[in-house]
Amino acid sequence: MPIHVDDSFQPQTTGDGSDTLYSAIYDETFHSTFGALTETEHVFLRGTGVARRLAEQQPTRVLEVGFGTGLNFWVTAHHSIATGTPLEYVALEKYLLPATTLARLNHGDLPAVAQEIRQAFLEWRVGLPDALPASPLQWRFGGGIRLDLIVGDAVTVTIPPRDYHAVYQDAFSPEKNPELWTQDFFARLFVVLRAGGKVATYSVKGEVRRRLAAVGFQVYKRPGPLGKREILVAAKE
Protein backbone atom coordinates (compact mmCIF):
# COMPACT_ATOMS: atom_id res chain seq x y z
CA MET A 1 0.00 0.00 0.00
CA PRO A 2 1.46 3.43 -0.88
CA ILE A 3 2.64 5.45 2.07
CA HIS A 4 0.88 8.77 2.34
CA VAL A 5 3.30 11.69 2.45
CA ASP A 6 1.78 14.58 4.35
CA ASP A 7 2.90 18.07 3.39
CA SER A 8 1.85 19.78 6.62
CA PHE A 9 5.34 20.83 7.63
CA GLN A 10 6.51 24.31 8.55
CA PRO A 11 10.14 25.47 8.40
CA GLN A 12 11.36 26.97 11.67
CA THR A 13 14.66 28.69 12.44
CA THR A 14 16.43 27.31 15.53
CA GLY A 15 18.65 29.00 18.12
CA ASP A 16 21.93 28.56 16.21
CA GLY A 17 20.39 30.03 13.03
CA SER A 18 19.91 26.69 11.24
CA ASP A 19 16.51 25.58 10.00
CA THR A 20 14.37 22.65 11.08
CA LEU A 21 10.84 21.54 10.24
CA TYR A 22 7.82 21.45 12.49
CA SER A 23 5.58 18.42 11.95
CA ALA A 24 1.88 18.95 12.62
CA ILE A 25 1.38 15.17 12.65
CA TYR A 26 3.73 14.69 15.60
CA ASP A 27 3.37 18.21 16.99
CA GLU A 28 7.17 18.31 17.27
CA THR A 29 10.14 19.76 15.45
CA PHE A 30 12.59 17.50 13.63
CA HIS A 31 15.53 18.89 15.65
CA SER A 32 16.29 20.75 18.85
CA THR A 33 14.84 24.26 18.75
CA PHE A 34 18.06 25.42 20.47
CA GLY A 35 20.07 24.53 17.36
CA ALA A 36 19.46 21.93 14.65
CA LEU A 37 22.98 21.95 13.22
CA THR A 38 24.52 22.05 16.71
CA GLU A 39 22.45 19.01 17.72
CA THR A 40 23.52 17.09 14.62
CA GLU A 41 27.22 17.75 15.20
CA HIS A 42 27.15 17.26 18.97
CA VAL A 43 24.70 14.42 19.56
CA PHE A 44 25.14 12.32 16.45
CA LEU A 45 28.52 13.05 14.83
CA ARG A 46 30.49 13.42 18.06
CA GLY A 47 28.27 11.30 20.36
CA THR A 48 28.75 8.18 18.23
CA GLY A 49 32.41 8.88 17.40
CA VAL A 50 31.61 9.19 13.67
CA ALA A 51 33.31 12.62 13.43
CA ARG A 52 36.48 11.13 14.94
CA ARG A 53 36.39 8.01 12.75
CA LEU A 54 36.05 10.11 9.58
CA ALA A 55 38.77 12.52 10.72
CA GLU A 56 41.02 9.46 11.12
CA GLN A 57 40.01 8.35 7.61
CA GLN A 58 38.37 5.13 8.78
CA PRO A 59 35.63 4.04 6.34
CA THR A 60 32.38 4.27 8.28
CA ARG A 61 28.93 2.68 8.22
CA VAL A 62 26.09 4.59 9.84
CA LEU A 63 22.49 3.55 10.47
CA GLU A 64 20.04 6.39 11.02
CA VAL A 65 16.59 5.95 12.52
CA GLY A 66 14.52 8.72 10.89
CA PHE A 67 16.03 10.40 7.78
CA GLY A 68 13.63 13.36 8.09
CA THR A 69 15.03 16.49 6.47
CA GLY A 70 18.35 14.75 5.76
CA LEU A 71 20.32 17.22 7.90
CA ASN A 72 22.24 14.47 9.75
CA PHE A 73 23.10 12.93 6.40
CA TRP A 74 24.26 16.17 4.72
CA VAL A 75 26.57 16.92 7.65
CA THR A 76 27.97 13.38 7.92
CA ALA A 77 28.52 13.30 4.15
CA HIS A 78 30.31 16.64 4.42
CA HIS A 79 32.76 15.16 6.97
CA SER A 80 33.24 12.17 4.67
CA ILE A 81 34.13 14.36 1.69
CA ALA A 82 36.26 16.78 3.74
CA THR A 83 38.39 13.88 5.00
CA GLY A 84 38.27 11.77 1.82
CA THR A 85 36.78 8.84 3.76
CA PRO A 86 34.18 6.42 2.33
CA LEU A 87 30.76 6.53 3.99
CA GLU A 88 27.93 3.99 3.85
CA TYR A 89 24.79 5.53 5.28
CA VAL A 90 21.58 3.56 5.73
CA ALA A 91 18.52 5.54 6.82
CA LEU A 92 15.14 4.22 7.92
CA GLU A 93 12.25 6.52 7.05
CA LYS A 94 8.50 6.07 6.95
CA TYR A 95 7.67 9.24 4.97
CA LEU A 96 10.41 10.37 2.61
CA LEU A 97 9.66 14.09 2.38
CA PRO A 98 9.02 15.46 -1.11
CA ALA A 99 11.67 17.71 -2.68
CA THR A 100 9.28 20.68 -2.48
CA THR A 101 9.09 20.35 1.32
CA LEU A 102 12.85 19.85 1.70
CA ALA A 103 13.56 22.82 -0.58
CA ARG A 104 11.65 25.14 1.76
CA LEU A 105 14.37 24.77 4.39
CA ASN A 106 17.09 27.38 4.31
CA HIS A 107 20.37 25.52 4.72
CA GLY A 108 22.52 28.47 3.67
CA ASP A 109 24.55 28.08 6.87
CA LEU A 110 25.71 24.56 6.00
CA PRO A 111 29.23 24.05 4.67
CA ALA A 112 29.35 24.45 0.87
CA VAL A 113 29.96 20.73 0.29
CA ALA A 114 26.94 19.77 2.39
CA GLN A 115 24.81 22.18 0.35
CA GLU A 116 26.11 20.69 -2.87
CA ILE A 117 25.25 17.15 -1.70
CA ARG A 118 21.80 18.30 -0.58
CA GLN A 119 21.17 20.00 -3.92
CA ALA A 120 22.15 16.85 -5.84
CA PHE A 121 19.87 14.78 -3.58
CA LEU A 122 16.93 17.17 -4.16
CA GLU A 123 17.40 16.88 -7.91
CA TRP A 124 17.22 13.08 -7.55
CA ARG A 125 14.20 13.28 -5.20
CA VAL A 126 12.27 15.46 -7.71
CA GLY A 127 12.32 12.57 -10.15
CA LEU A 128 10.52 10.24 -7.72
CA PRO A 129 6.82 10.28 -6.81
CA ASP A 130 5.99 12.40 -3.75
CA ALA A 131 4.25 9.43 -2.11
CA LEU A 132 6.58 6.48 -2.25
CA PRO A 133 5.67 2.86 -1.67
CA ALA A 134 7.63 1.08 1.03
CA SER A 135 10.86 0.05 -0.70
CA PRO A 136 14.63 0.37 -0.48
CA LEU A 137 16.20 3.16 -2.56
CA GLN A 138 19.84 3.83 -3.32
CA TRP A 139 21.60 7.10 -3.99
CA ARG A 140 25.29 7.79 -4.49
CA PHE A 141 27.41 10.93 -4.40
CA GLY A 142 30.92 11.07 -5.85
CA GLY A 143 32.94 7.91 -5.47
CA GLY A 144 32.74 7.61 -1.71
CA ILE A 145 29.22 8.13 -0.46
CA ARG A 146 26.48 5.54 -0.62
CA LEU A 147 23.04 6.25 0.82
CA ASP A 148 20.45 3.49 1.23
CA LEU A 149 17.02 4.77 2.14
CA ILE A 150 14.79 2.08 3.56
CA VAL A 151 11.33 3.56 3.09
CA GLY A 152 8.73 1.96 5.34
CA ASP A 153 7.98 1.38 8.99
CA ALA A 154 11.30 0.93 10.79
CA VAL A 155 9.66 -1.56 13.12
CA THR A 156 9.03 -4.05 10.35
CA VAL A 157 11.46 -3.26 7.49
CA THR A 158 14.53 -5.40 6.99
CA ILE A 159 17.53 -3.45 8.25
CA PRO A 160 20.43 -4.21 5.90
CA PRO A 161 22.94 -6.11 8.05
CA ARG A 162 26.06 -3.96 7.55
CA ASP A 163 27.92 -4.31 10.85
CA TYR A 164 27.39 -0.59 11.60
CA HIS A 165 29.88 1.53 13.48
CA ALA A 166 27.17 3.90 14.65
CA VAL A 167 23.44 4.34 15.01
CA TYR A 168 21.83 7.77 15.04
CA GLN A 169 18.64 7.16 17.02
CA ASP A 170 16.76 10.26 15.83
CA ALA A 171 13.07 9.32 16.03
CA PHE A 172 10.59 11.84 17.38
CA SER A 173 10.31 11.76 21.18
CA PRO A 174 9.41 8.56 23.04
CA GLU A 175 6.03 10.14 23.88
CA LYS A 176 5.18 10.93 20.25
CA ASN A 177 6.94 8.09 18.46
CA PRO A 178 6.85 5.21 20.99
CA GLU A 179 7.29 2.33 18.52
CA LEU A 180 10.90 3.38 17.88
CA TRP A 181 11.87 3.38 21.57
CA THR A 182 10.80 -0.13 22.59
CA GLN A 183 13.06 -2.84 23.95
CA ASP A 184 12.27 -4.95 20.86
CA PHE A 185 13.38 -2.17 18.53
CA PHE A 186 16.57 -1.55 20.54
CA ALA A 187 17.29 -5.30 20.33
CA ARG A 188 17.25 -4.98 16.53
CA LEU A 189 19.73 -2.10 16.72
CA PHE A 190 21.98 -4.12 19.03
CA VAL A 191 22.12 -7.00 16.54
CA VAL A 192 23.14 -4.88 13.53
CA LEU A 193 25.73 -2.78 15.39
CA ARG A 194 29.30 -4.09 15.41
CA ALA A 195 31.16 -4.69 18.68
CA GLY A 196 32.60 -1.36 19.79
CA GLY A 197 29.85 0.56 17.96
CA LYS A 198 27.70 3.25 19.55
CA VAL A 199 24.13 4.46 19.46
CA ALA A 200 23.60 8.14 20.25
CA THR A 201 20.35 9.90 21.01
CA TYR A 202 19.04 13.10 22.53
CA SER A 203 16.63 11.45 25.00
CA VAL A 204 17.97 10.54 28.43
CA LYS A 205 14.65 9.31 29.81
CA GLY A 206 14.97 6.59 32.44
CA GLU A 207 12.86 4.11 30.50
CA VAL A 208 15.00 4.63 27.37
CA ARG A 209 18.16 3.97 29.39
CA ARG A 210 16.66 0.88 31.02
CA ARG A 211 15.46 -0.61 27.74
CA LEU A 212 18.85 -0.04 26.07
CA ALA A 213 20.61 -1.64 29.02
CA ALA A 214 18.15 -4.57 29.01
CA VAL A 215 19.21 -5.58 25.49
CA GLY A 216 22.93 -5.46 26.29
CA PHE A 217 24.13 -1.88 25.81
CA GLN A 218 26.38 -0.02 28.26
CA VAL A 219 24.56 3.26 28.67
CA TYR A 220 26.26 6.59 29.41
CA LYS A 221 25.03 10.13 29.84
CA ARG A 222 27.23 12.73 28.18
CA PRO A 223 27.12 16.53 28.37
CA GLY A 224 24.57 17.97 25.95
CA PRO A 225 24.79 20.89 23.52
CA LEU A 226 23.47 24.33 24.40
CA GLY A 227 19.95 24.12 25.82
CA LYS A 228 20.21 20.43 26.72
CA ARG A 229 21.98 19.23 29.86
CA GLU A 230 22.68 15.66 28.77
CA ILE A 231 22.54 13.28 25.83
CA LEU A 232 22.70 9.48 25.76
CA VAL A 233 25.34 7.18 24.33
CA ALA A 234 24.80 3.41 24.33
CA ALA A 235 27.85 1.30 23.54
CA LYS A 236 28.03 -2.32 22.41
CA GLU A 237 31.17 -3.23 24.29
Q: Out of 83, 177, 182, 203, point to the residue binding ligand SAM (CB under 6 A).
A: 177
Cα 204 from Cα 208, distance rounded (Å): 7
Cα angle: 83, vertex 112, 65; to 5 degrees: 70
Cα 88 from Cα 77, distance rounded (Å): 9
Q: Is 172 in the site for ligand SAM (CB under 6 A)?
A: yes
Residues 6+ apart with CB under 8 A from 144: 80, 81, 84, 85, 86, 87
Strands 193-201 and 230-235: antiparallel
Q: Out of 155, 191, 214, 226, point to the residue binding ligand SAM (CB under 6 A).
A: 155
Q: Give the helix/strand (H/E) hosting 102.
A: helix 99-103
Question: What does DSSP assign to residue 28?
Answer: E
Q: Please, which residue, 35 or 70, has the CB nearer to ligand SAM?
A: 70
Residue type, 215: V
Question: Least distance to ligand SAM from the beta carbon of 236, Å?
Answer: 21
Question: Least distance to ligand SAM from the beta carbon of 210, Å?
Answer: 21
Question: What does DSSP assign to residue 68?
Answer: T
Instruction: Tell me the three state secondary structure of residue 104.
Output: coil
Total residues interacting with ligand SAM, rule: CB under 6 A: 21
The residue range among 7-15, 45-53, 171-179, 199-207 that interacts with ligand SAM, by the rule CB under 6 A, is: 171-179
Q: Please, which residue, 95 or 186, has the CB nearer to ligand SAM?
A: 95
Helices then strands, each counted (H, E), the chain: 7, 11
**Buried-exposed string 40-67: b where 16+ CB fall within 10 A, e elsewhere:** bbbbbbbbbbbbebbeeeeebbbbbbbb
The residue range among 50-58, 124-132, 175-183, 189-197 that interacts with ligand SAM, by the rule CB under 6 A, is: 175-183
37 touches 75 (CB < 8 A): yes
Q: Please, which residue, 12 or 177, has the CB nearer to ligand SAM?
A: 177
Q: Nearest to residue 36, comparing CAs of 45, 25, 24?
A: 45
Q: Please, which residue, 154 or 189, has the CB nearer to ligand SAM?
A: 154
Question: Least distance to ligand SAM from the beta carbon of 40, Å?
Answer: 6
Question: Least distance to ligand SAM from the beta carbon of 4, Å?
Answer: 12
Question: For residues 185-224, which are near ligand SAM according to CB under 6 A?
Answer: none
Question: Least distance to ligand SAM from the beta carbon of 84, Å?
Answer: 24
Residues 134-153: x/- map of binding to ligand SAM (CB under 6 A)?
A: -------------------x
Question: For residues 66-95, which are near ligand SAM according to CB under 6 A?
Answer: 66-72, 92-95
Binding site for ligand SAM (CB under 6 A): 30, 66-72, 92-95, 153-155, 170-172, 177, 179-180
